[in-house]
Structure 1
Amino acid sequence: MALSVELGGGTLSEIYQSAKKVLLRTRDGLERLERLEHAGGGIDSPDLSTSVKRDISQIQSLCAEMDRLWRSVGAKSQRDLWKRKVEQIAEEAQSLKDSLDRYDARNQKRATEARERAELLGRANGDGAHVMRIFDEEAQARDSVRNSARMLEETNATGEAILRKYAEQREFLKRAQRKALDVLNTVGLSNSVLKLIERRNRVDQWIKYAGMILTVVVLFLIWRWRR
């Protein structure tokens, strides 16, 4: 619904549409700046950066104009709606400005580092070979430290593998020892049982023979008594 409230550049709806277009263009420009930064090792594009800054300023001016216009809308529901729309545009513009500020800070940092490197080489008074030798020695020292660390890691890994192997062998020997003791205990128990059975068989035989003899004696006595 286009509103007829006007101030200089057009209606509130027209200014809002213009702000949206500039916002899209600004976002696209900032994305291109960041792609150049990452793809080109920190390459800056001053013209594009200036264009993005100008677009952000334009959006903020449009937001200020819309902020005055929505307050003149008659219906409260429409006022609240436009208030939220204008605040959303203003927040997006501020977010883009913050991103651009961070981009500028990174560029400034890179420029400072480049200048410091140039000054360092300049103070060498043409003794570039000496500077390069220092850099090479530092690089060799770093490589040596990395190699030593890698050797220590490999040695540690080998030691751990040996200890694990010893632990496995110790567990195997313990299991074998337990099995041998179990076998010996079983054999010892079997021998005891066999001896007990043999003794019981002998006792049973004695009881059987004694019973047979006692039976014969009783029968003999009965036979004699009847006669």
Structure 2
Amino acid sequence: MEAPFAVSAPPLTIETLSTLYPKATKAKHETERLLEHFELGLDRSISSQQRLSAVLNDFCRQSAELKNILNELIILECLNKSQQSMWIRRIDNLVADSENLSEAITKQLNYLYKTTHEEELKVNYVPNSKKPSDNIKFLIKERGILQESHNVLDHAIDQAKGIVYNIKNQNKILKSARKKALDLASRMGVSHSLLSVIERRSAIDQILVYGCIIFTLIIFFSLYTLIHLYYRTN
């Protein structure tokens, strides 16, 4: 069998440079445009980063390809001196631009990664820097604690009102009883000093009851404050 004929590549000419150079220039302008948007913060999404990297790689590849073609044309002596000088200047500028753009884009992406990583560390490890979902959970929990504390205080106040009401009724009963006792004592000859002792003991009992009410309210308010501060700090 006869060996198949090898497909030869098209010959390199100055027209090859003229065809590829505008494409490389277009890729350069697109890279510069995307980089400008990225630097200004207009679009730093993942898709924008991928698009920027792809356009940059395409531009670098085309610049390197033009450089290789130019070197081959120089070796083959397909260019005169003026053409050679012009194309060397053009393509060297493209290669330099590709290197500068690559460095600038790498710097921007590294900075973005660094700032994003630092923000993630703050969210994950700093207690006061909570995620939005954590803030919502915290507010719901705090609202529940406040509602529970409010209910406890209302219950304590209602109990205190009931105690005060009972004391007032007892005072009325005691006054009535004291009056009757005085009348009876005057008839039976019981000394007035004994009745005074009984009255003082009743007053002391009232003071103790009021003191217990105030002490209970202080305890409830203290517990409410401590619980509120605990959930604030945690």
Give TM-score scaled by structure 2 length.
0.45
Give TM-score scaled by structure 1 length.
0.47
Return the structure number with greater relative CO, CA threshold 8 A, min gap 6: 2
